[in-house]
Structure 1
Amino acid sequence: MDLTVRQMDADEFQRQRQEVLGQWQTGKDVVFEEAVAYQKSLPKSKVFAEKLAEGKEKGMTFAQPRAGVALLNEHIELLRFLQDEGGADFLPSTIDSYTRQNRYTEAQAGIEESVMIGRSMLNGFPAVNHGVAACRQVIESVQVPVQVRHGTPDARLLAEITIAGGFTDFEGGGISYNIPYSKDVSIESTIKYWQYVDRLIGLYEEQGVKINREPFGPLTGTLVPPSISHAVAVIEGVLAVAQGVRSLTLGYGQCGNLIQDVAALHTLPVLAEEYLAKLGLPKVMITTVFHQWMGGFPQDEAKAFGVISWGAATAALGKATKVIVKTPHEALGIPTKEANAAGIRTTKQILTMLKDQTLPMTEELALEEEMILAETRGILDRVLDLGEGDAAVGTVRAFQAGVIDVPFAPSRYNAGKILPARDTSGAVRLLDFGNIPFDKRIKEFHRERIAQRGRDENRDPSFQMVIDDIYAIGKGMLVGRPRG
């Protein structure tokens, strides 16, 4: 199959489908027509797209945690606790690492070991191994919509089983679940894998079933410039809509500077709508998701709650449709259900207090929005030029040329030439632009902002700033200032 943004050929989809459903024994239980009927039987209160649309209309910000364990009953117990004690508006099923790498035999061994030991020996819920019926038990055991969260380069079988199982939201994308997660998987292959996922969801959509799609926004963490994550989000949105997706939630990860983060949340849907229209694609429902701090956390719980609260405040003021919640145990490993619920309650308290407040459009906020729009358009227009109008082809060529470049990513298909650092106010700028197609004005803006930090700290801008910024939050700061 040649790479193209165009909708997947029906024969090619069916050919792949036979192969995909044969990858693990639970694939035999997926029957499309029956799965459509099951999805249609779900109440609207359990349909992600319906609840997101309501939230967007009312200007609400919903809270959703991350969570997942190996065994079905324990997973259900965990989700119920986060719903009842945490007050989660949406629930996740975070998938285990073996399933993310399509290593189902090892996932099965993890399930069996978990049964023997009496506690989860996997870092998530192995949905493929549990199968369609077990997934439906999860859906039927809670009152709110449930999303599949994972990190899988090839998520075709996972999508088949979980959507047939009643999940109404599927996270990820061919760039965002490859470049930050994998070393040797080509972008062309993951775009094709995810076109299958999106075409599957398009087929459900054609039967009247709404499945929301949510590309993963944060990429490699808290030092990704908004224009880089926006470009990836818009491309993944374009690729999804081309395959028939009609409900799209675009993500952005907290960088830490309030003005920059709010500007990013304001501009993301603007850019998505602009490029969907530019490429002649249908108008779809677009919502936003904000990820609380994706970097290192303080070990002290009280300080961790401070980081969580700052993320909640930013989501509320930026009017994100949804916020992904962190826990006070981030620095310690997998959180207890009590800690997870506490993070949700903390977040919801802030969201409630700030729901009627907005940031005024100051000169600084307007400038930040202007720069994010200009930077992202520069990248996206170059992607389309490289692909001669085809976003899929252009994306592969853009990574080859370093036109899209994700900082600190492990993938050998990523140039890894750009170098981000914070300016004196904590906003993320670029020390080294690599081959990112920024014009002279944009580059001068970045250089001056970082130079001002250098003057404030009495040192020359350098890689040491980047190192200092990475460790700053664990020391109670956002900007990595030198001691003294």
Structure 2
Amino acid sequence: MTPGFGHVVSTAHARGQLVVQPRMGMPVPADMRAGLLATKRASAITVGTVTLDSYTRVGDHAAACRALGNGCSLNGYPVVAHGADTTRWMLSGVRDDAFPVQVRHGSADPRSIFTTLAAVPIDATEGGPVSYCLPYSRMPLRESIRNWTEASRSFAQLQATGLQPHMETFGGCMLGQLCPPSLLVAISVLEAIFFRQHGLRSISLSYAQQTNTAQDEEAIDALRDIAASHLPDVNWHIVLYAYMGVYPRTPRGAQHLLDEAARLAVRAGAARLIVKTVAEAHRIPTVQENVTALETAAAAARQERRRSPGQGAEQQIHAEATELVNAVLDLDKDVGRALALAFERGYLDVPYCPHPDNAGRTRSFIDTDGRLQWSTTGSMPVTRVVQSGTTARLTSAGLLSALSYVADKFDWLHQADTADHPTKTEHRT
């Protein structure tokens, strides 16, 4: 079987190397090819990314074709509109056994996307029936689950051609922020079990950097341990996303946050890191800014040492996530049906998520240590006691403050660092 995406990442991880990956998508095939080549040539262990456009994400391929015909700009690569032949050319001489490429999309109905990927073929993608429905779509969850069941089964059939298709769960990134880690861990594991049930044997489990580094380490420990107990016959690894919420506006603040993500990935034993750039708060980054982010993250990772597994003493995240996973799996032997029932009963309930199939009875807050905590757990089957005095509904001002917590923190750290270490120009003025 041809070495695939999961094999490349796992091999690098076994050598103690962190794989870094950009978010990158251009509508013009030649530009997309150039971006992938720049990623490949970066001074880091990298894998490639082809991020799809919004029209393709929602299945409006006719609109994507019209945009291409009219010379209109798209915010990603329209793989279905371009077709398999064009994409095959775009990847020729770029992708190889040491540099695999993953397609990222955001679709609650990825069937046409997966059909095109199989025709190229491209053997690595990501998403999930929950994580690509609730944040990005108003599609009924049960419909998304049906779509993802069909797409996952067809994607798994690439194994018959000698490929090892790889699927990454997006469940650990729900809404990017203000979702306590136990729910991120639980949804990531449940989507991985869903993919395994439909025949996939190379899987990565996502987790997004949140508001407190120690808490994130505990969450990744929990994710690793729970995944190991449910995926015994799967080649799997953990992928960490650099913070996905409001990003620092200062270049130094943004760089400090990315460096912390790289160090977190190494300490906690994640195999792959999805980076962000210093331009995130302002605009879509250039290829060079992506390359710089890859190289600086890799440099920060090389300076960090992995700690011993299980070193963290906190077990609350592990306990909560285990309760959630077990409660959902007890609902039905079919994981897709179990996920639908779990949201109908409020066993899974994402705070501040307005999707009609989300109960919306849970709330979270950032405590004085910067940790994400539950203030209201709704009907979720967790036995922890919500801290007293935290059940009041968050005000709009409080919500805005929480959403900008990380950006404000790292911009402030930059300002404090500048004050402590002024430049020569600042001395003169």
TM-score normalised to structure 1 length: 0.79
State the SS of the aligned residue for 1:349: helix
Question: Is 1:283 matched up with 2:233?
Answer: yes
Q: How does 1:153-164 map to 2 (within 5 A)?
A: 153-164=108-119
Displacement after TM superposition at 1:207 (Å):
4.0
CA distance in 2, matches of 1:372, 1:476: 24
Residues 102-156 of structure 1: CA deviation (Å, up to 9, x unaligned): 0011111221233xx7xxx100000011111122123223241100101001001
Aligned equivalent of 2:425: none
CA contact (8 A) 2:6 2:204 kept: no
Question: Is 1:473 matched up with 2:406?
Answer: yes
CA distance in 2, matches of 1:238, 1:283: 11
State the SS of the aligned residue for 2:70: helix
* Equivalent of 1:81 in 35, 38, 57: 38
Question: Is 1:208 matched up with 2:157?
Answer: no
* Equivalent of 2:193 in 238, 245, 254: 238
Displacement after TM superposition at 1:210 (Å):
0.4
Q: How does 1:204-283 map to 2 (within 5 A)?
A: 204-216=158-170, 217-276=172-231, 283=233
State the SS of the aligned residue for 2:239: strand
Aligned equivalent of 2:103: 148
Aligned equivalent of 1:345: 295
**Structure 1 stretch 79-88 or stretch 423-432: which is displaced more?**
79-88
Which residue identity lines up with residue 384 of structure 1 in the other structure? L
Q: How does 1:1-400 map to 2 (within 5 A)?
A: 44=3, 47-85=4-42, 87=44, 89-114=46-71, 121-143=73-95, 144-183=99-138, 185-216=139-170, 217-276=172-231, 283-354=233-304, 356-358=305-307, 365-367=312-314, 370-387=315-332, 389-400=333-344
| Structure 1 gap segments, 5+ residues each | 1-39, 277-281, 455-459, 480-484
CA contact (8 A) 1:420 1:466 kept: no
Which residue identity lines up with residue 230 of structure 1 in the other structure? V
| Structure 2 gap segments, 5+ residues each | 413-429
Displacement after TM superposition at 1:225 (Å):
1.3
CA contact (8 A) 2:269 2:306 kept: no
CA contact (8 A) 1:97 1:124 kept: yes
CA distance in 1, matches of 2:114, 2:334: 25
State the SS of the aligned residue for 1:268: helix
Which residue identity lines up with residue 358 of structure 1 in the other structure? R
Residues 411-445 of structure 1: CA deviation (Å, up to 9, x unaligned): 11111221111122211111111111111xx225x
State the SS of the aligned residue for 1:366: coil
Which residue identity lines up with residue 262 of structure 2 in the other structure? A
State the SS of the aligned residue for 1:290: strand
Residues 132, 349 of structure 1: alpha-carbon distance in 2 compared, 3 angstrom cutoff = same
Displacement after TM superposition at 1:84 (Å):
1.9
C-alpha RMSD over aligned residues: 2.3
> What is the aligned-residue identity percentage?
28
CA distance in 1, matches of 2:309, 2:196: 33
Residues 406, 210 of structure 1: alpha-carbon distance in 2 compared, 3 angstrom cutoff = same
CA distance in 1, matches of 2:36, 2:43: 10
State the SS of the aligned residue for 1:395: helix
CA distance in 2, matches of 1:325, 1:474: 16
* Equivalent of 1:428 in 369, 372, 383: 372
Aligned equivalent of 1:8: none
Which residue identity lines up with residue 330 of structure 1 in the other structure? E
CA distance in 2, matches of 1:245, 1:377: 23
Residues 219-261 of structure 1: CA deviation (Å, up to 9, x unaligned): 1012211211122111111111111100010000011311111
State the SS of the aligned residue for 1:350: helix
CA distance in 1, matches of 2:262, 2:70: 37
Displacement after TM superposition at 1:88 (Å):
5.6
Displacement after TM superposition at 1:461 (Å):
8.9
Count of residue pairs the alignment pairs up: 407
Displacement after TM superposition at 1:473 (Å):
2.6
CA contact (8 A) 1:313 1:350 kept: yes
CA contact (8 A) 1:220 1:407 kept: no
* Equivalent of 1:443 in 361, 385, 396: 385
Considering fraction of residues, name the structure with more helix: 1
State the SS of the aligned residue for 1:250: strand
Residues 392, 361 of structure 1: alpha-carbon distance in 2 compared, 3 angstrom cutoff = closer
State the SS of the aligned residue for 1:386: coil
State the SS of the aligned residue for 1:148: strand
Aligned equivalent of 2:427: none
Residues 373, 98 of structure 1: alpha-carbon distance in 2 compared, 3 angstrom cutoff = same
Residues 266, 220 of structure 1: alpha-carbon distance in 2 compared, 3 angstrom cutoff = same
Displacement after TM superposition at 1:360 (Å):
8.0
